[in-house]
Amino acid sequence: MSGHSKWATTKHKKAVIDAKRGKMFAKLIKNIEVAARMGGGDPGGNPTLYDAIQKAKKSSVPNDNIDRAVKRGSGAETGGAEYSTIMYEGYGPGGVAMLIECLTDNKNRAAMEVRTAMTRNGGSLADPGSVSFLFHRKGVVVVPAEQEGRTVTEDDVLEATLEAGADAVNDLGEAFEVISESSDLVAVRTALQAAGIDYDSADANFVPDSTVALDADSAAKVFRLVDVLEDLDDVQNIFANFDVPDEVMAELEDA
């Protein structure tokens, strides 16, 4: 889920020890399978597959599961499903614009489940194109500040990635978010590796051009909707244009 960065960071940390770990594993495995089907089973020649595998490893997905997903996707092993990517557009509580990216082997099921989740939690689906123009596809690399044997600074990250195409480095508190054009994602990730800087994830995400500030009531409703959507098997990613001020975030955490 990409909206308020600090919330995204909190969710990322929480996901590793969450009760939904099995569901998260399944989504990461699905990403690997689709990446292998689209670009082949060699991570060296398929950057999307490389990043999908790295993300799964960071989330402690067992190597055997990763290897089998690559084989299913590349056709070396039978049993893979035919997944389609579908993007739903809509609005959440507080007028928040949302893009809901699904990876599904049953479009009718995905559409019904997403629509039900939205309408039951203060949201509504919108016509194609009515929300997506508020977002642009960008490369997003998340770099943890505390790394093995060292603390990485914003200057370290900037110095490593600027010439590779980084447009901005955002301080998330315990991590840094490097934004680039999606076409520069691999170059930015490679530049970090060359500088000996580890990263948590490297994805091509939809980043909003501007954000909507939420109060505590609207923020709580948006977080509830995001939780319900993320619990759906077909939903892979949620992108939203909300921002939650620090004081509101503190209020919600204390509640």
How much is the pTM? 0.84
Query: Per the structure block, which two tokens stand in for 227?
Result: 């939780």
Q: What is the mean pLDDT of the chain?
A: 88
DSSP 8-state secondary structure symbol assigned to residue 41: S
Give the pLDDT confidence of 139-191 residue by residue, as tens digits: 999 999 999 889 999 999 999 999 999 999 988 888 899 999 999 999 999 99
Distance CA 70, CA 30 (A): 10
Compute CA 191 distance to the chain's CA centroid, rounded to the nearest angstrom: 21
List, for residues 102-116, the tens digit of each pLDDT value: 999 999 999 999 999
Position 245 scores a pLDDT of 80
* Structural domains of the chain in order of their starting residue, each with its CATH number: 135-208 (3.30.70.980)
Q: Which two tokens stand for residue 47?
A: 């950057």
Q: Which of 96-100, 185-189, 200-204, 248-252 has the lowest mean pLDDT?
A: 248-252
Q: Are 80 and 43 in contact (CB under 8 A)?
A: no
Instruction: Name the residue among 196, 201, 195 with its Cα closest to residue 160.
Output: 195
More confident residue, 242 or 19: 242
